[in-house]
Amino acid sequence: MKIIISAAAIVFLAVANTPALAQSGHAGMHHGASPEASMPMANMKMSNGTVKKLDAAAGKITIAHGPLENLNMPSMTMTFNVLDKAVLKRIKPGDKVNFVAAHVDGAMAVTSLELAK
């Protein structure tokens, strides 16, 4: 009988503590907030890349880029929205660029771009 009571007590404690354990560790999470959203634009490190394609009508640019540290993303080729479409007139495929990318309105966008020196 003691074994049954002990086993029941262990099961009860395990079940009773499950919600408490599920709640721990969430204090550091920022649901819905990307890391770059809390970072001033001037403090963001620029990434480097090579322009592969421009779509001025759609306001998009494709860049083969190095790591995007502010987004914790590895090197790859991506298409981004461009916030300042005038920048598309100053560059062409093959140009080396430095840029900042961020999540803007649910999409990846280039928020700052300059020709690499």
* Amino acid in the structure at residue 89: K
User: Does some domain include residue 32?
Assistant: no
What domain range is 84 assigned to? 38-115
The per-residue pLDDT for 81 is 98
Q: How many CB atoms lie under 10 A from the CB of residue 114?
A: 13
The rounded distance, in Å, linking the Cα atoms of 103 and 100 is 10
User: Does some domain include residue 103?
Assistant: yes
Number of domains, the chain: 1
Q: Dig out the tokens for 74 from the structure.
A: 């590895």
The per-residue pLDDT for 117 is 87
Residue 41 pLDDT > 80, yes or no?
no
User: Does some domain include residue 27?
Assistant: no
User: Does some domain include residue 14?
Assistant: no
User: Does some domain include residue 6?
Assistant: no
Percent of the chain at pLDDT above 90?
61
The rounded distance, in Å, linking the Cα atoms of 101 and 93 is 18
What is the average pLDDT across 75-102?
Answer: 96
User: Does some domain include residue 25?
Assistant: no
CATH of the domain at 53: 2.40.50.320
User: Does some domain include residue 21?
Assistant: no
Model's pTM, two decimal places? Answer: 0.64
